[in-house]
Structure 1
Amino acid sequence: MEFDALLLSRMQFAFTIAFHILFPAFTIGLAAFLAVLEGLWLWTKREAFKTLYLFWVKIFALSFGMGVVSGVVLSYQFGTNWSEFIRLTGGVIGPLLAFEVLTAFFLEASFLGVMLFGWKKVGPRLHFTATVLVAIGTTISAFWILSANSWMQTPQGFEIMADGRFQATDFWQVVFNPSFPSRLVHMLLAAFMTTALVVGAASAWRILKEKRGSTTWTESRIALVMAIGLVAVVAPLQLVVGHWSGEVAHKYQPSKTAAIEGYWETRSNQPLHLFGIPDREAQKNHFEVSIPGIGNMIQNVPKDEVIQGLDAWPREDQPPPFIPFFGFRIMVGLGLLMIALGGVGAILIWRKRLFESRWFLKFCVAMGPSGFIAVLAGWMVTEVGRQPWVVYGVLKTRDAVSPVTAAEVATSLTVYVLVYALVFTAGALFILRLMAEGPKAALAEPDPRQDRAPGSPLARAPADAEGGIPGDED
């Protein structure tokens, strides 16, 4: 393997985007969770919801900040490492990225300050509105980024000019390209799942460690029930949406599907490969474990329909199958565990044994990082499975790299690794420390509504009105 400028640039972008994607995958869902918490607080006047909000908003602020910083680094790399990509496709990609800044970023920037620092400055309804708008902004940001990336997967609505540049001919076809709807829903559900698993893990950890009836016992129970409820609904839905996304890939990116499934031979009645070690040199799978005759059914096509294997493309046009093959199986395996988590948790809630099942609480803690792992695995499947194309079927990755030397890219990659290892590790450890402390840190703060006007609805509201919690045996 030759570590030339192309390979090193790909490694650098993969490294930085792997860090970046973790934060949006968390903050998109966490922003929605915060909006729900504040809405429930305003509706029920239960102090537990406010305590949870004040706790998780700190973690949101840290995660959002690290996501913004790592995202800026990615935008710089378009110019330093992938200038040819921007030069050729800027007429199509540029407007999508610009709309992300003009809509989502400005919306988030305008109301994030109110959300984080406006408890004593604005009324409760205005503050709740700011929280909702920040949550909407994170979703809009995902909309435009997923649209741009999906166009690179399934390009349409453009033409190539005489000088090789891409020009959009139908803006709405560019935005709503064939893979965009399924991938947007898939990513949003993944973000909600990631947040639910983290909230559930942190809450289960505190229930395991704290004594019954402690200061934040109620808050931990509420958060765990909310997290389990979301997982129980979203995890099975994600399986359906993932299959939808796979059908789109089968239709528009058959080489990616072949790499994911480990198909080397073009044939009908394909098998389902449960396990194997794809070998690009030998053009076959080693140690293959398969179920014959159901591959077509999994792809939702007739049994006699021919499905292309990797032998349908020249070797230089085949995606490297190892990462898509195993990345897909990691993602699906974790998805099945999430479905089990949600299903078993729902049963325990119904039987009012959730908080007494220590094995299940430990299972929740162990599943905490699984959402992040599944997101990383999914993005590796998506991006590596597209190779050797940066715009599928139109522009190859080797033609999109900047005219830089391998030494220059190696130097910047080394700097990125060192800086990221220091800064983001410190940030992640601080977030984990906050999670371990739990909502008790929020309880230690002065009441942000102490200066509210006499006679207002909040001034007349009772300090707390705790009720029964589903899953409690009492």
Structure 2
Amino acid sequence: MFEGFDPVTLARFQFAFTISFHIIFPAFTIGLASFLAVLEGLWLATGRSVYIETFNYWIKIFALSFGMGVVSGIVMSYQFGTNWSVFSDKTGPILGPMMGYEVLSAFFLEAGFLGIMLFGRKRVGDKLHFAATVVVAIGTLFSAFWILSVNSWMQTPAGFGYNAAGQFVPEDWWAIIFNPSFPYRLLHMVLAAYLTTAFIVGAVGAFHLLRDRTNQSARTMFSMALWMATIVAPIQIVAGDLHGTNTLEHQPAKIAAIEGHFETNSEGPMPLTLFGIPNMEEGRTDYAVNVPYLGSLILTHSLDGEVQGLNAFPREDWPNSTVIFWTFRVMVGIGFAMLGIGLWSLFKRYRGSLYDSPWLQRAMIAMGPMGFVAVICGWVTTEMGRQPFTVFGLLRTFESHSPIAAEAVGTSLVAFIVVYFVLFGAGTFYIMRLMSKLPSPAEDDTPDHHPTRSAGITPAFSLEGRNEPEPAE
């Protein structure tokens, strides 16, 4: 069936398929864990039941997403041995310990306190339960720290040497972990996770506001999500700019491919190509729509800064500009759309009509899944932009593959596609059903007391015998 196929191409496609499924779950749970910690902290601080009701609404969704993320991540680790054994052998002395640290410091932290977070409130009390929620949120960030460090080392390797067997071996762990691109990638990914979660939460809140404008949990979701979008979207744009200048310094061929830039602008400023069709065979971008000077300004922060084109590099080292030219633009376009939604919400807050704007709510619903699209496009840009290397500039992809036949890789790929769409499709369907349920005060495990009141303290803005006010916009 797969006779004549390239096993390396099939293995790359298999890893791309599995990571595309996997990455949407960590991107969601990183932000959702922090959101849950904030909700429970607000409940403890204010005693307002709407926060704990919203917490209990989302914790079920978090548990399902976390479980699917763990399962899909385990599958990827096996592929290092089955499809990429040479890569595993060459990089094992460096990447093996780092991935082990992720398990020890992050996964154990998450798994150890997840049970308390899900089932332990009545057993450990409110404050210890909140501590467990915070620890789980910290664990998700630790996991992002180590995984991004591993990936960044593959992009900008540092602090290593070679042994007699030709393996990469550690010489400076600080340089390995905090390699040149790591801070930028970590910041960019964590912010992306927060934005992704914000737009999912906001979309669910908007969906329920269209059905019941007075629902307190829906109003809380909608308002908090839009505050996150308003604050984080512009920070993400700045972080993306910093990440881009770092990539230009360490991976200039990737930037040239992203920009569809084939000729070095040695005699004038580089324009920004908004749209076009990169022609890899002819070494040009067809039907280009250019903005003069803007390419140099964005990439070098100078109106006449020089940027190397792809023709300055050996053709065998070119990334696939045809793909990453567009995935990058989709990601950036979604980022600016998120910023636009945030600014729109600010205007509505100023007018006092945040919850009375069905068009804003419909726009939020439409933007709900766009964070996932942006994350996947960003990872495609990052990983395909590193090609044709697994360890940039040092180990080529075709040298990293296991000595395995195309039939074996192709058969497992088909099996993955079938199983993933059945299992994760069912899980996603169930999550969507949970999201479609209208939030109500009758959520399971909702405490029948306010923590501040049980301690003999009554908040001035939540007096006994009065209706609780609506969430602050």
Instruction: Summarize the Cα distance change of 1:463–1:407 in structure 2 as closer, same or farther, 3 Å threshold.
Output: farther
The residue that corresponds to 1:398 in the other structure is 398
Q: How far 1:270 moved relative to its partner?
A: 1.4
Q: How far 1:303 moved relative to its partner?
A: 4.4
Once residues 37 and 457 of structure 1 are traced to their aligned partners in structure 2, the CA distance between those partners, rounded to angstroms, is 20
Could you tell me which runs of 5 or more consecutive residues in structure 2 were left unpaired when the two chains were aligned. none
Instruction: Summarize the Cα distance change of 1:327–1:292 in structure 2 as closer, same or farther, 3 Å threshold.
Output: same
Once residues 359 and 343 of structure 2 are traced to their aligned partners in structure 1, the CA distance between those partners, rounded to angstroms, is 15
The residue that corresponds to 1:276 in the other structure is 276
C-alpha contact 2:229 2:338 (8 A) present in aligned 1? yes
Q: Tell me whether 1:322 sits opposite 2:315 in the alignment.
A: no
Q: 2:242 aligns with which of 241, 244, 269?
A: 244
The residue that corresponds to 1:219 in the other structure is 217
Q: How far 1:302 moved relative to its partner?
A: 4.0
Once residues 216 and 304 of structure 2 are traced to their aligned partners in structure 1, the CA distance between those partners, rounded to angstroms, is 58
Q: How far 1:449 moved relative to its partner?
A: 5.0
Give me the TM-score of the superposition, normalised by structure 2: 0.95
- Return the letter of the residue paired with 1:256: K
- Return the letter of the residue paired with 1:162: A
Instruction: Summarize the Cα distance change of 1:356–1:116 in structure 2 as closer, same or farther, 3 Å threshold.
Output: same
Once residues 445 and 173 of structure 2 are traced to their aligned partners in structure 1, the CA distance between those partners, rounded to angstroms, is 51
- Return the letter of the residue paired with 1:432: M
Q: Tell me whether 1:152 sits opposite 2:151 in the alignment.
A: no
The residue that corresponds to 2:131 in the other structure is 129
The residue that corresponds to 1:348 in the other structure is 348
Q: Tell me whether 1:176 sits opposite 2:183 in the alignment.
A: no
After TM superposition, the structure 1 = structure 2 runs for residues 362-381 of structure 1, keeping only pairs within 5 Å, are 362-381=362-381
Q: 1:78 aligns with which of 57, 77, 80?
A: 80
Q: How far 1:300 moved relative to its partner?
A: 2.1
The residue that corresponds to 1:384 in the other structure is 384
Q: How far 1:305 moved relative to its partner?
A: 4.1
After TM superposition, the structure 1 = structure 2 runs for residues 46-445 of structure 1, keeping only pairs within 5 Å, are 46-210=48-212, 212-213=213-214, 217-268=215-266, 269-440=269-440, 443-445=442-444
Once residues 306 and 349 of structure 2 are traced to their aligned partners in structure 1, the CA distance between those partners, rounded to angstroms, is 47
Instruction: Summarize the Cα distance change of 1:458–1:465 in structure 2 as closer, same or farther, 3 Å threshold.
Output: farther
Once residues 24 and 448 of structure 1 are traced to their aligned partners in structure 2, the CA distance between those partners, rounded to angstroms, is 29
Aligned length: 465
C-alpha contact 2:56 2:444 (8 A) present in aligned 1? no
C-alpha contact 2:203 2:365 (8 A) present in aligned 1? yes
C-alpha distance after superposition, 1:123-153 (max 9, x if no partner): 1110000000000000000000000000000
For the aligned residues, what is the CA RMSD? Answer: 2.0
C-alpha distance after superposition, 1:411-466 (max 9, x if no partner): 000000000000001111111111110323x615364457x99x942898969862
Q: How far 1:468 moved relative to its partner?
A: 3.6
- Return the letter of the residue paired with 1:182: Y
C-alpha contact 1:271 1:293 (8 A) present in aligned 2? yes
Q: 1:266 aligns to what SS in structure 2?
A: coil
C-alpha distance after superposition, 1:274-326 (max 9, x if no partner): 00111111211111111123311111254454321111122221011112100
Q: How far 1:122 moved relative to its partner?
A: 1.0
Give me the TM-score of the superposition, normalised by structure 1: 0.94
Q: How far 1:350 moved relative to its partner?
A: 2.1
C-alpha contact 2:152 2:185 (8 A) present in aligned 1? yes
The residue that corresponds to 2:15 in the other structure is 13
C-alpha distance after superposition, 1:37-90 (max 9, x if no partner): 000111111111010000000000000000000000011111111111110011
Q: How far 1:162 moved relative to its partner?
A: 3.2
Identity, in percent, stands at 50
- Return the letter of the residue paired with 1:167: V
- Return the letter of the residue paired with 1:435: M
Q: How far 1:470 moved relative to its partner?
A: 3.8
Q: How far 1:170 moved relative to its partner?
A: 0.4
Q: How far 1:209 moved relative to its partner?
A: 1.6
- Return the letter of the residue paired with 1:438: L
C-alpha contact 2:106 2:140 (8 A) present in aligned 1? yes
- Higher deviation after alignment, 227-236 or 455-464: 455-464
C-alpha contact 1:119 1:127 (8 A) present in aligned 2? yes
